[in-house]
Amino acid sequence: MGCLAALLLLAVTAASETSSEKDSVSLIKTIHKTSSKGLDLYQSDNLRSLQRTKRSWILTTFELEEEDKGPFPKLVGELFNNMSYSMSVKYLISGPGVNESPEFGLFSIEDNANGHVYVHRTIDRENTPYFKIRFDVADTVTGKKVDKSLFFIIKIKDINDNAPKFPKEEFNIAIKENHDTDKPVFNLTAFDKDEKDTANSRVTYSLTTQTPNLKEPRFNIHPTEGFIVISGCLDHQTASSFKLLIKARDDGTPQMSSTATVNIAVEDTNNHPPEFTKENYQLQIEEGKVGPSMLRLQVEDQDSPNTPAWRAKYKIVKGNEKEQFIVETNPETNEGILRVIKPLDYEGDSEKRLVISVENEEPLSSCHEGKLRSPPVAPMSASVAVKVLDTNDAPEFHPPTLVLQKEEGVKPGTRLGKYSAVDPDVVPNNIKYTVFHDPAGWVTVDENSGVITAMKELDWESPYVNDSVYPIIVHAIDDGVPPQTGTGTILLYLSDINDHMPTLVTRFLEVCDKARLTPLIIKAEDNDSDPYASPFTFKLADDSKSIKQNWRLGKSFGDSVELLMLRNLPRGKYLVPLLILDRQGLFSMKQNLSVRLCHCPDGHGCEELNSMPLSLGGGAIAVILAVLLLSLVVGCLLLWCYYGSENRKRQVNFPFEEGNQTLIKYNEESGNVLSQVMPDVLDYESQLSTYAQVRKGKQMSEYVNGMAPSPSLTSSRGHYDQGRCGASTMVQSRPLSDNHSSHGVQYSRRMETLHRRPLPATVEAVGEMLNQVGNGWF
């Protein structure tokens, strides 16, 4: 490198307004005429023309080869700038390899004034194939750059110092025994770090050794692509694995190479068909029997166990038209297990012959003249002779489900039909019938003939009837050994008749007095089905004036109707008679709807009758005082009767027997209370009449709780009777005061007969009256 044999000068023109293209061409020609040692070229006449070009760079060719051993520092090139004609300059170098990565201090300019470039150590091209260097020229005095920077790429020349390398030194692959010879077995690629597209990096592959070294099959590798191919057929039984040594070399000088090992495992495939160890089998099966293993079929296969090439598939190809048999493979032993999945019938077919074939899960293949093929080979087969043994069969109903249609209302003792069974055995057995399922207990069956007879009246509305169907299950039992039972089902379809009339859903309605003008909804129901039920026709059953003036029916809604109140009726209870007709116009009788008009404190619910507050008015206080006075008078009379003298001019007999008096309820809407009518009644004579009613235990409660449009209290004059004290007494009651006539109170008289009773009974009656007064009024 000391002598620059071929000095190639490169002139780089930064900027020149005065130079022409002709001047630049003249400059380049002058440089090419300069010798390799033309360091004095600046003094020649030809270079004087450079004075006309401003700011121009001149460089020699930089040639560096990797792995150069030196000695170092070593001159690699020179550079020149024509600014040195007019001033004193110095040259500067920077960039990667100088003061930047990947390497520092690799290049330098030892003498800044002459522009000689040096390298200081060995370079590895594979790490850094080139360097982009920056050159500058600066005034020696001021240090200011006087020209544009020059960027120059120093390329490192490659040498063959790397051998091709495989990704791994050893590869393990597996191929199937029936591998297609037209397809590559494996692909290998070696990589060379030397410069691309050169002899140093061009790789050639070759197969060095094959173990075992068989005549067939033979492995080979493509010389440039690196994929492994095979010729001939593989045989797992002959060789289950191969070992290949592959070599990769480059074309550089000197040639370099490396090797890799490829281990190939051959997987067994189906090239041996399964074969039955026995061609004919015998089997005896009882009719009606199903279940597990009936017969085991054994096969032999030379392929590797527990592989698709070894596992067997069985198929019944003949004799299983009714699909009564199935063959399954035992995964451990590879045996075929024959099972019965549907009962066999001795009477239908006492002997059968099954043909069973076997093949592998994987298709069979073979090698012919070094080529793989899959010929159509018929699978191996075996024959199974099946003999069905006769047993006692259960009776069979025909049909299995009998449908009977009847109308409800069928009376007990009516024959509904006949349901019989037959015995399928060759020699029939005797059959007896019995009802197994009859939820309502409607029917019975004749044990010998199977005749179905009604025991109760059939009712369509029964809860055991679902969608008009009543199910019955009948058993037929033969007398075979052992006895067998057959089952038959009877579906009894019942049709409805019009045997129910419409009735009110509720017979009582409560209406708040503020909502009395709102239509009331009356709803009816009928247990019959269509067309014997709704829509209903509603009518008022009473044409009396009081009904027509107060009530009217409104719109009908099928099973309900509106009830309209025509007048503002007072609070109380009212009966509305109705007739309700079904779609056929049938009805049972008049139905009364009780409507209660009441006060609703909360606006929704009626006030309870016994929830009204009670207070002690003047009449109640008078009653209490009257009772006390009566008790005193009765006590005095008893003493007087017991101790009285014979010369008494007048004797009074106290009534001891019960009397009868009519007490009519008053209308609670009239506004009158008991306290308003009691003062006129409570005289001595009425007290005696009251006592008679208390003995019956009803007057006080009727006075308080009774309700009637025209209440009245009636009494009558008494008559004379002999008492215990030997005197006669006439008891007379008086009517109520006339101030009650405005309420429509009418009076009537009846004679009350008073009889004397012993003393204890009288005391008891007084006590009972006091209890009635306390419980009923307060």
pLDDT recorded at residue 241: 94
Rounded Cα–Cα distance for residues 250 and 206 (Å): 12
At the top level of CATH, the class of 503-611 is mainly beta
Produce one character per residue of 291-310: b if its CB has 16 or more CB atoms within 10 Å, e if not: eeebbebebebebbeebebb
Strands 257-267 and 366-368, by their bridges, are unpaired
Give every CB contact of residue 540 below 8 A, 6+ residues apart in sequence: 547, 548, 551, 552, 553, 576, 577, 578, 579
With a pLDDT cut of 90, the percent of the chain lying above it is 26
Q: Name which of 126, 160, 159, 163 is nearest 258 in CA terms.
A: 163
Model pTM score: 0.41
Topology of domain 275-389 in CATH is: Immunoglobulin-like (2.60.40)
DSSP single-letter state for residue 655: P
DSSP 295-329: EEE-EE--SPTTSTTT-EEEEEEES-TT--EEEEE
Q: Name which of 564, 767, 730, 706 is nearest 651 in CA terms.
A: 730
Residue whose entry in the numeric block shows the structure tokens 């194939």: 129
Mean pLDDT calculated for residue range 431-448: 94
Whether the per-residue pLDDT at 58 is higher than 60: the answer is yes
Whether the per-residue pLDDT at 45 is higher than 70: the answer is no
Topology of domain 170-267 in CATH is: Immunoglobulin-like (2.60.40)
**Are 10-157 and 170-267 equal in CATH topology?**
yes
What would the pLDDT profile of 521-545 be if each residue is shown by its tens digit? Answer: 889 888 777 777 778 888 888 878 7
pLDDT recorded at residue 716: 34
What would the pLDDT profile of 377-393 be if each residue is shown by its tens digit? Answer: 788 999 999 998 888 88
Q: How far is CA 748 from CA 92, 716, 732, in A?
A: 154, 8, 13
Q: Name which of 571, 568, 573, 572 is nearest 593 in CA terms.
A: 573
Strands 241-250 and 351-360, by their bridges, are unpaired
Whether the per-residue pLDDT at 680 is higher than 70: the answer is no
Architecture of the structural domain at 396-495: Sandwich (2.60)
Rounded Cα–Cα distance for residues 256 and 165 (Å): 10
Q: Name which of 669, 512, 518 is nearest 605 in CA terms.
A: 512
| Ranges of each domain in the chain | 10-157, 170-267, 275-389, 396-495, 503-611, 622-777
Amino acid in position 761: A
> Residue 401: pLDDT band by 50, 70, 90 thresholds?
very high
Winning range, highest mean pLDDT, from 16-25, 260-269, 523-532, 704-713 = 260-269
Residue whose entry in the numeric block shows the structure tokens 């419409």: 502
Rounded Cα–Cα distance for residues 575 and 563 (Å): 12
Mean pLDDT calculated for residue range 479-491: 90
pLDDT recorded at residue 436: 94
> Residue 159: pLDDT band by 50, 70, 90 thresholds?
confident
Whether the per-residue pLDDT at 727 is higher than 50: the answer is no
Mean pLDDT calculated for residue range 386-401: 88
For the chain, give percent helix, strand, coil, nearest 5.
Answer: 15, 35, 50
Q: Which position has the higher pLDDT, 222 or 614?
A: 222
Does domain 10-157 correspond to CATH entry 2.60.40.60?
yes
Q: Name which of 424, 423, 444, 442 is nearest 434 in CA terms.
A: 444
What would the pLDDT profile of 219-229 be if each residue is shown by its tens digit? Answer: 999 999 999 99
DSSP 1-22: --S-SS---EEEE---SS--HH
Q: Name which of 242, 240, 238 is nearest 262 in CA terms.
A: 242
What would the pLDDT profile of 504-514 be if each residue is shown by its tens digit? Answer: 888 888 888 77
